[in-house]
Structure 1
Amino acid sequence: MKRYSKVKSVIIIVMGLPGSGKSYFAKALAKEIGADYLGSDRTRKEIGLMGKYQLNNKMSVYEEMLSRAKEIHKSGNSLVLDGTFYKQKIRDSFISFAQSLSWKLYIIHVIADEELILKRLSKPRQESEADIIVYQKIKSEFEPIQEAHLQIQSTDGSLKERLEKAVKYIYSNHE
C-alpha cells in the first residue's frame, strides 16, 4: 500500500456494531496515517467497567474517551477513535469537540454480514468481551448516522483494500 504522510489535525471516528471488525480496522488505520488510537474496549477495561454495558456505564466510557481525546489533542497528534458510537448524543459530543478545535472530523462506519459477526463473537477476542447478547442490544438501539460518513464492509479477507478506501476518503477531503 502507498505510504501517506502523517495526517494533521484530524479526528476519525471508526464506529460499528460489536464484532464488525471496527477495532481491527481502526488500529490499522491509525498506524497507516500516523495517528494516535483510542478505543472504547481498552478504556472500559482501564476504568473498571468490564462487563458493565448499561447506558450510564457506556456513557462513562465515552466521557473518559473524550477526556483522553482532549489530552491527545494537546500533543498535536491526530486521533482515531474506536467504539460503537451507537447513539447520536455520543457522536455529537465528539463532533462538538472536533468543531471546537476547528479540526476535520471523519466518520467511518464498519459493517459486516451478521453471519460473520456472530462467528467472530462466538470466539474470545483480545480486548472486547461483547457477546451476542450485547451485539443484539446495541443493534436494536443503534441510531442512524446523520453526518456524512464512509461505510466500509468488513470481511475476513485482506485489509489492504479497506484501508486504501478509507485513506483516500480522508486525504481527498482533507485541506
Structure 2
Amino acid sequence: MKKHSKVKSVIVIVMGLPGSGKSYFAKRLAKEIDALYLGSDEIRKEIGLMGSYHLDNKLSVYEEMFKRAKRINKSGRSLVLDGTFYLQQVRGPFIFLAKSLSWKLSIIHIKADEALISKRLSKPREDSEADLKVYQKIKSEFEPIREPYHLIQSKDGSLQENVEKALKYIHSDHE
C-alpha cells in the first residue's frame, strides 16, 4: 500500500447504513492518513448502551463521540468518525465543530447493494448488533445530506480502491 502524506487537521465523517462496510473502511482510512478513529459501535459498547437503540441512547453515543472529538482537536490530530449519521441533528454538531475549530471537513457516504448488506448482516460482527431489521429502519429514516460529500460504493474486494478514492477527495478542495 502506498503511503500518502499526512493530512493536516481533518475530520472525516464516514457515514452509511449498517452493513455498508463503513467501519471496515473507516478504520483503514484512519490508518492511511495517520488519524485517530472513533466509532459509534465501540463508544456504545464502552458506555454500556449495547442493545439500547432508542433515540435518546443513540444521541448519548454521538454526544460522547462529540466530546472526544473536541479533545482530539486540541491535540492537533486528524480524526475519522464512523457511524450511521443518518439524522441531520446528529451530523450538525460535528459539522459545526469542524468549522468552528478550523478543521477541514470531509464527509464520505458509504453505500452497498442490499444483497451484499444482507449477506454482511447475516454474520456476527464484533461491535455491531445491527441486523436487517435495523438496516431497514435506519434506511427509512435516513435524512438527506445537505453538505458536500463523496459517495463510495462498497463491494467485496474494493477496499484499497475505495480508500484511494477517499484520499483524492480528502486532499481536494471540495468545500
TM-score (norm 2): 0.97
Q: Is the 8 A contact 1:15 1:83 kept in 2?
A: yes
Q: CA RMSD in A?
A: 1.3
Percentage of identical aligned residues: 74
Q: Is the 8 A contact 1:59 1:90 kept in 2?
A: yes
Correspondences of 1:8-157 after superposition (within 5 Å): 8-157=8-157
Q: Is the 8 A contact 1:104 1:174 kept in 2?
A: no
The DSSP-based 3-state class of the residue aligned with 1:6 is coil
> Quick one: distance in 2 between partners of 1:73 and 1:159?
27
> Quick one: distance in 2 between partners of 1:124 and 1:51?
14
TM-score (norm 1): 0.97
Q: Is the 8 A contact 2:37 2:80 kept in 1?
A: yes
Task: Render the CA deviation track for 1:122-142: whole Å, top value 9, x for unaligned.
Answer: 100111111111111111100
- Give every structure 1 segment of 4 or more consecutive aligned residues whose post-TM-superposition deviation is greater than 6 Å: none
Using the TM superposition, give the Cα deviation of residue 174 of structure 1 relative to its aligned residue in structure 2, in angstroms. Answer: 7.7
The DSSP-based 3-state class of the residue aligned with 2:38 is strand
Q: Which amino acid aligns with 2:125?
A: R
> Quick one: distance in 2 between partners of 1:117 and 1:28?
19
Using the TM superposition, give the Cα deviation of residue 78 of structure 1 relative to its aligned residue in structure 2, in angstroms. Answer: 0.4
Deviates most, 11-20 or 67-76: 67-76
Q: Which runs of 5+ in 2 are unaligned?
A: none
